[in-house]
Amino acid sequence: MKSVEEIQAGLRGVYRFILFVLVILSFLMWSFVCHWTIRDPEKRLRRFSRNTQFFCGLMIKGLGLKLNVVNKPSDDQKFLVVSNHMGFVDILSLATCFPMLFVTSNEMRETPFLGLLTEMGGCIYVERRSRTKILDEMKSIVSSLKNGFRVVLYPEATSTNGEKVLPFKKTLMMAAAQAGVPIQPVVINFREINGEEFSLKWRDHVCWYGDIPFVTSMWKTMTLKSVTAEIEFLEQIHTTVEDDRGVIAEKAHAMIAAKFVPVKGLPDTAPTPADMEADPT
């Protein structure tokens, strides 16, 4: 028989799933209205980014997520955010800080349902499966930054299991220098889950990584009583087009890794799964 806690978690999950559906439907309906009524592409994109901020705020409240934001820049600052990435929970959290455009892969665009959500959220798509297109795709990021948008880039190029910050891919980070804006390193940490520390017990409830289906990960998140997360904005990095991209990437990585708090309970000599390694470009 199921325990009382399991039954309560299931009921909580059902309740939040209903809220999730209602928020998503509202988000899509309003985004479609904006798509049809706002003819200017840039104005439409700005509306999409504000919609994303608003509805993500509703989502994290519905999920019982308490968010602490440290050293948040002023609203008038523009920058390229680079951050560690553990799944959709940190996307929802980061999106509440400012209206921003997120860089994601064409694979996500091709994914049913998630592709529609990212498009209506104003995401910038890149083809991570082909290095030959990366310079052309950087132009769209540079253009968005020059037009005054804040852009979020996850240079690990994947979501992780909370063990460490993976090496950063380099090239797209140089969009900041080309656009004349600083790089804003951000570290995201899970501080408490159901009143306990972020440990292996709870990892798969907040991290979406590897082959875990989106629905499975989302359901586990919805069953939680509470989550406390922290977003810390670190010292900005000012770059020029002449700077060595490898040095810049390593500096940003070192800053974020130094502040990152890994999941608790790992063996001292735990091997790194092969599919979690990155080949920076």
Give a yes or no: residue 274 inside a domain.
no
Structure-block tokens of residue 256: 């974020």
Q: Is residue 278 part of a domain?
A: no
The residue among 105, 168, 111 whose CA lies nearest residue 133 is 105
Residue 111 lies in a domain: yes
Please state, in angstroms and rounded to a whole number, the distance separating the CA atoms of residues 100 and 179.
16
- pLDDT by residue (tens digit) across 105-122? 888 888 888 888 999 999
Q: Can you give the CATH number for the domain in which 252 is found? A: 3.40.1130
Cα–Cα distance for residue pair 190/224, rounded to 1 Å: 13
| 211 within some domain | yes
CB 145 within 8 Å of CB 124: no
Please report whether residue 247 resides in a domain: yes
- For residue 182, the enclosing domain spans 4-262
The residues, any chain, with a CB within 8 Å of residue 145's CB and separated by 6 or more, are 78, 80, 151, 175, 176, 179, 181
Complete DSSP assignment for 53-69: HHHHHHHHHHTTEEEEE
Report CA dihedral (219, 221, 225, 227) to the nearest 10 degrees.
-170
Q: Is position 281 within any domain? A: no
pLDDT at 227: 95
pTM given for the model: 0.89
Residues lower than pLDDT 50 in the chain: 270-280
| Total domains in the fold of the chain | 1
Cβ atoms within 10 Å, residue 223: 19
- Residue found under tokens 């406390």: 228
Residue 240 located in a structural domain: yes
Pair of tokens at residue 22: 């209602």
Residue 92 near residue 60, CB atoms below 8 Å? yes
Query: Interhelix angle for 214-222 vs 88-95, to 10°?
Result: 60
Task: Confirm whether 133 is domain-assigned.
Answer: yes
Burial of 162 (0-12, 13-18, 19+ CB in 10 A): buried
Residue 141's pLDDT is what?
Answer: 93
Amino acid type, 115 = G
